[in-house]
Amino acid sequence: MLFLLALLACNDSTADGAARREVAAPGPAPAALIAPANASEPTAVAAYWEGGSLTYGEVTAPMQGQLDQMLSEYLMGRYDAEYQAAEQKMDEAILNAEAKKRGLPALEELLKIEVSDKVAEPTEAEITDAYSALQRKLRGQTKEEARGVLISAVTQKKQGERYALYIDELRATYGATVQLTFPDVPRIKVSADDDPFVGPSEAPITIVQFAEFQCPYCGKAGESIDQVMAKYDGKVKLVFRDFPLGFHDKAIPAAIAANCAEKQGKYWEVHDAFMADQTALTEADFQRVAKAAKLDLAKWEECRKDPAMEAEIKKDEADGQAVGVTGTPAFFINGVFINGAQPFQKFKAIIDSELKRG
């Protein structure tokens, strides 16, 4: 485009071109366009031409949801970066303070005592598990050929877990916490529809979750959700809406099985069983879970054949897509969007901010 404009400018640099520009030039711009209002004002002129114009509101209204999501992602991304930086510096400070307190010459000495020395040598079972998990990356190596790599991988994993535990212990000892103010992000209007929920119907915090039963990250997110429901007991309403992914062939059948259990007041029993083992979603598994939940199997089976059940799931999916959901799990906390299996602290920061807002 710039090259094309340059060519046009060169062509118009002749005297004849100057004359043509003078003849073709429009009349004076309206006074409002000479000193336009703030572009964020809906009535501000965003574009004009001889005989017409467009306001900022007319341009942005059809894409407001997209703009809100972009702004939200930027603000939350910035918050995450600032939080991680503050957390890292805080941890370094309390580690150094602890090393000094214990008379150790260097931070590395403290980490050796509290992390490395407290991690046991990998067991044969752990090495075997690591081999199974890393086989694709090992490119055909036998377990014995890859033993050194496997021992290193298991050791690093165990050290990471021990370090995380030790840092939590130190934070508690030193009363250390990050308390950055959560940003005021745009709220996205999301309907809870008539989908299953737990918690008080009039709770000050509503979390609408879009998820499915075959997605491993949805199961992982359950750890944070359990913490949320325990810490904010009585203050959170959690709604589950279905968002089956096309490449998961068990997602819709599992959702139908759970929603039909809801007809008998047993939704969460089935939901929890499916989330507990997302590799166990065969028909035999459905039957096993239904029996464990003590469902009326005849009514449950009849419900599963009803086309309206899949239609309801597709409605959930469409509603999710309309508010920008593209993957699972996705959460809207009083309309604040967060994507993926996020740690409890992320939920906590948003919920605390919302409770302060009243």
pLDDT digits (tens, 9 = 90+) for 74-106: 998 999 999 999 999 999 999 999 999 999 999
Under the banding of pLDDT at 50, 70 and 90, the label for residue 358 is confident
Domains with residue ranges and CATH for the chain? 65-174 (no CATH), 197-357 (3.40.30.10)
Amino acid type, 279: T
User: Which pLDDT value is given to residue 64?
Assistant: 83
Handedness of CA 244, 245, 249, 250 (dihedral sign): negative
User: Which pLDDT value is given to residue 68?
Assistant: 84
Reply yes or no on whether the pLDDT at 9 is more than 50.
no
Q: How far apart are CA 105 and CA 92, in angstroms?
A: 15
**The two three-digit tokens of residue 89, written as one number:** 């510096």
Q: How far apart are CA 200 and CA 79, in angstroms?
A: 30
Q: What is the pTM of this model?
A: 0.72
Residues near 62 by Cβ (< 8 Å), separated by ≥ 6? none
pLDDT per residue as tens digits for the range 346-355:
899 999 999 9
307 burial level (CB within 10 Å; 0-12, 13-18, 19+): exposed
Mean pLDDT of 335-348: 91
Share of the chain above pLDDT 70, in %: 89
